[in-house]
Amino acid sequence: MNKQPWHRSEKFLLLLCFFAPPIGYVAVIVNKKKLSRELWLSNLTVATIIMSIWLLKFLPHQWGTIILLTGAGIYWYQRIVKKFKKQHR
């Protein structure tokens, strides 16, 4: 296995996407050809989710809470519907 510098490791890229999504986006896009498709999509997904949470900070206080609770509600509704459909097959 070819040893890579610390700044090109998979763990560093994931941490970068988690703690600094704008920089993580740039790093993922620049390294797209060097990453496997699965790793590229997972890093891009993490950066997108964290970036959306970051952007909620710039909305007025009530809107951020409303959007976050709506997203959580949609997620739980989807899980309940999936579970219900699975039980009735």
What is the number of domains present in the chain? Answer: 2
Tokens read off for 16: 């970068």
- Given a cut of 90, whether residue 76 has pLDDT beyond it is yes
Instruction: For 3-40, write each residue's pLDDT tens digit.
Output: 777 777 888 888 888 888 889 889 888 888 888 899 88
Domain extent for 72: 60-89
Could you give the CA distance from residue 47 to residue 32 in angstroms, rounded to a whole number?
14
As a whole number of angstroms, the distance between CA 17 and CA 44 comes to 8
Q: Residue 1: inside a domain, yes or no?
A: no
pLDDT: which is higher, 78 or 63: 78
- The reply to whether 77 and 54 lie within a common domain is no
The pLDDT of residue 54: 85
Same domain membership, residue 67 and residue 51: no
Considering the domain architecture, whether residues 79 and 43 belong to the same structural domain is answered as: no
Task: Give whole-number Cα distances, 51 to 18, 22, 39, 44, 63, in Å.
Answer: 9, 7, 18, 10, 16
User: Is residue 32 one of the residues assigned to a domain?
Assistant: yes
